[in-house]
Chain A
Amino acid sequence: MIKKPNENKDLMIKKLMINRSVYKSVYNKVKLLIILTAAFCCSCSDQQTSSSNDKEQTELLVYCSEGSPDSFNPQLVTSGTSYDATANILYNQLVTYRPGTTEITPSLAKSWDISDDGLRYTFTLREDVPFHASQIFTPRRNMNAEDILFSFNRQRLSDHPYHDISGGRYPYFNAQSLDSLIKDIRKVGDHQVEFVLSRPESPFLSILATPFASILSAEYAQQLNRLKQPEWIDTKPIGTGPFRFERYEPDSYIRYKRFDNYFIETERVENLVFAITPDAAMRFARFSAGECDIMSYPLPVHLRVARKNDLKIIQTPGLNVAYWAFNTEKPPFNDVKVRQALTMAVDREAILKTVYDRQASLATNPIPPSSWAYNKSVNKVIYSKRRALELLKEAGYENGFSIDIWAMPIQRAYNPNARKMAEIIQQDLAEINVDVRIITYEWGTFLSRVSRGLHHSVLLGWNADNADPNNFFTPLLSCSSVLSGNNYAKWCNREFDELILKARTSSKQQKRTEYYHQAQQIFKQQAPWLTIAHANNSVLVQPDIQGFIISPIGNINFEGVTSKTADEQSEEVHAEQDDPANPKVNN
């Protein structure tokens, strides 16, 4: 390392010198280290700038998503994360929603016909829909009736050869009891299929637009049978959608490539990447550093920061509701007056401010105002402690009582912090002599205990899977859902139940609206819940991303999304229209 000093010198001097040179060499090393790291960092930041140039050439869109999908077949799962990664990217359904709305439009089916008794739905399919190709599969025909039959019969018939592949459980199909609703599916022609129902069900078209109704290739299934790898149908997906599957690294990323033969001509980016980042703070950091173009599920605090920094926020009122359900089987909640009194005693404005950071609107009915069945004439709950005390006195509870509130332990867009919500309610109720104990369990235990009816009252929420109002009323408030479903108020009102059943089976929209309006009146008067809020769906988007439209139902769609600098602003105006709170973001 260092040259040995002259050996003829005195020992002491030698030692000193060596010491000095040792330090010197250490200093040099440290210096060298600093220089090296600095050089490395510089070279890296250089690289970054050069890489961002490459980015424009290869056309890449990075979406920071909140988790790994459970499967690439939406028939097998119920999580929104899995739906986002599959339903509107790899697949198509017979019908779909017009982007950004809850209106049904044709997709794989170009038209349909409903018989007068509402029992037969005949769909005429498009003939120009090709499937994706992959290394192991080259489609030899376009989509036809066989594929429709395959996709539904796999879920419907337990003797179907593909029924038991990948576990044989179809949670959504079973939860909606579609096996009893759909009596038969017939092939009428090569491009015509007929669904025969066991009873009239007017939300049926909306049901067919949900992710579980995605169409898979029957020809691909045959090919996999020949290869003796049938489960690849769910792990190496083939669909008709705007992007084809390229690669999935668990917990890391999903890569998609543009499908150039897609049957609808829309603008799309060439490479789409889902960067899986479960931690919201980290997701926001990645977004801020420009590592992703679109960020899913920002927290209220991120929206505030984004607003301050003029970042683009895209929002739409979501099809969801947060509610406080009273277990009507247990006293004192079996008394309607007590329920009404409690709904009046809670300051929901405070909840909206502290829990939602104003990213939500007050809820009056179980369904949000954007639904066509919304009843505007239902009286809003008035926050009045005096009136609440009077009602409690009438019910014979003037000395107060104590209740339990079960708060859901996890964070959802529709209920970001149930615990905090419970604390606010606790304070409010203390003023009318009602003692509140807050209870939480781990999520799985929580749900199983609540569905067994062990709770007193519970703070929960609901996100609709399809746009039909029935998706709120039947699973959450019908008599049949007391036993099996999500009716956590355990509330069964015959009159209400009859109305929603009539609304469900009648085919005329006007009649249905009427029934739902009446049902909402009964709901409000009986007060099985305190409806709290409808939260907004929001995503953060980099300024150069054009054409991103968020759906009220919550599923993400990358059709028509492009990455362009400045120039075309017209599309952006369309995306921004749902965001009155933030008019200044258009630059």
Chain B
Amino acid sequence: MFKTLLKQLSTLMISLLGLTILTFVLSQQSDIPIHDYQSQNVFIQYFEYLQFLATGDWGISSIHKRSVLKDFLQHFPASIELIVLALCLAVTAGLSLGIIASTRRGGWLDNTLMTSSLIGYSMPIFWWGMLLVLLFSLTLGWTPVAGRIDFQYNIEPYTRFMLIDTLLHHKEYGFDAFFNALHHLILPAITLSTIPMAIIARMTRSSLLAVLKSEYIRTARSKGISNQRIIWVHGLRNALQPILTISGVQISIIMSGVIVTEYIFAWPGIGKWLLEAVSRRDFASIQGGVLALSIIVITFNLALDFLSIYLNPRLRRPS
């Protein structure tokens, strides 16, 4: 167990090192130097660069002269809110759709679910988002087009998590502001969660089907254990391992999806911030954003690895 952990951590260190080399090379391309290095030697500069990163000096944006790290942290909560909701949506809906499909294997429901999931994950996300806006916002008028909240709610950004901030403004607006913020979240979250939801649903179905065919399930059935229990306890827990692995991969899909989604819905998160930086050649922000995003993806994957080790005893011992 300890050895596995160590192995995982060492891969983390190596990928982080590779990443910083990449962003360091990127930062060298900037017209205006991002950091003031003491040394002329590139190798020593790299270590100085690591030192700057460690002390929180990620450079100053060449466009608006703000600290990159501060800028990133300011934009991050909006993205987190969206990502967490989308991830919850993708996992719950994906799992339940997969379970429904696998329990009615070959039926019309299974077929429709699998076809629509195929369509779901082959769709370009920006097109899908636009389509949803066209239908739900412009034609039906059910959801707002863009933004995080209606502007008549004057919300002081204490935490920058809109759902929390609106609850903190409970005195002025009651729960109206909170629901309004949630209402603004629906469409972007659905857009963002579509692809991972489809993938998780397909994975759940195939993995659960494989498990349900195995000997011990048959034994369990013959013992008269209820179908409910077989699926939720014996089936799903064993089927969960590949699903978790797949969900881990989804985080990078979601991270790249969030950039497009935020652009479409004018969502003031890191995606929109990064796109703006790219279009204006703000090298300090680009390298900071790339670095931070990659760190998040890597650590998230690592956490998932640990979780799957915890869930699956077979993985605890390195082979």
Q: What residues make up the interface of A, taking CB atoms closer than 8 Å to B?
A: 1-2, 4, 11, 14-15, 18-19, 22-23, 26, 29, 41, 43-45, 47-48, 51, 54-55, 58, 60, 62, 67-68, 70-71, 166-167, 247, 249-253, 255, 271, 273, 275-279, 281-282, 285-286, 288-289, 291, 442, 444
Contacts and interface: CB of A to CB of B under 8 A. Distances in A.
B78, B144, B148: residue with the most chain A Cβ atoms closer than 10 Å: B144
Nearest to B31: A444
Interface in B221-268: 221, 224, 226-228, 231, 263-266, 268
B13 to A, nearest CB: 33
B264 A279 contact: yes
B65 A71 contact: yes
Given A44-B179, A252-B268, A255-B154, A4 B65 contact: no
B65 A166 contact: yes
Contact of A4 (B78, B138, B226): B226
B151 A277 contact: no
27 contacts: A23-B104, A41-B142, A43-B179, A45-B141, A47-B183, A51-B152, A58-B152, A68-B64, A250-B64, A250-B268, A251-B268, A251-B276, A252-B148, A253-B147, A275-B147, A275-B266, A278-B263, A278-B266, A279-B263, A281-B130, A282-B264, A282-B266, A285-B137, A285-B145, A286-B146, A289-B145, A442-B281
B103 interface: yes
Contact of A291 (B104, B145, B231): B145
Contacts of B147: 252-253, 275, 286, 291
B146 A45 contact: no
A1 B228 contact: yes
A587 B215 CA distance: 76
A166 B61 CA distance: 12
B75 A62 contact: no
Contacts of A255: 151, 154
B157 interface: yes
A19 B227 contact: yes
Given A54-B152, A289-B144, A291-B150, 18 more contacts: A18-B226, A22-B103, A44-B142, A47-B180, A47-B183, A48-B144, A68-B64, A247-B156, A271-B151, A276-B266, A278-B266, A278-B272, A282-B265, A285-B146, A286-B147, A288-B138, A289-B137, A289-B138
Contacts of B66: 250
A70 B231 CA distance: 56
B235 to A, nearest CB: 12
B228 A18 contact: yes
A41 B186 CA distance: 10
A210 B146 CA distance: 33
A47 B174 CA distance: 13
B146, B154, B272, B281: residue with the most chain A Cβ atoms closer than 10 Å: B146
B152 A250 contact: no
Nearest to B224: A11
A47 B138 contact: no
B49 interface: no
Nearest to B173: A54
Contacts of B180: 47, 51
B146 A282 contact: yes
Contacts of A29: 96
A23, A67, A252, A444: residue with the most chain B Cβ atoms closer than 10 Å: A252
Nearest to A272: B151
A62 B151 CA distance: 8
Given A1-B228, A60-B152, A47 B176 contact: yes
Given A71-B64, A289-B145, A44 B226 contact: no
A71 B66 CA distance: 10
Contacts of B78: 252
B227 A18 contact: yes
Interface in B93-147: 96, 100, 103-104, 130, 133, 137-138, 141-147
B74 interface: yes
A556 B244 CA distance: 52
Contacts of A253: 147, 151, 268
B48 interface: no
Nearest to B264: A282
B273 A286 contact: no
A249 B151 CA distance: 13
Nearest to B226: A18
Contacts of B143: 41, 44
A251 B273 contact: yes
Contacts of B133: 282, 285
Given A44-B179, A252-B268, A278-B276, A273 B228 contact: no
Nearest to A70: B64
B71 interface: yes
Contacts of B74: 250
B210 interface: no
Nearest to A231: B65
A252 B152 CA distance: 15
Nearest to B93: A33
A54 B228 CA distance: 50
A411 to B, nearest CB: 12
B25 interface: no
Contacts of B227: 15, 18-19, 22
A45 B142 contact: yes
Nearest to B263: A279
A398 B142 CA distance: 65
Contacts of B268: 249-253, 276
B63 interface: yes
Nearest to B270: A251
Contact of B144 (A18, A54, A273, A291): A291
Contacts of B264: 279, 282
A285 B96 CA distance: 34
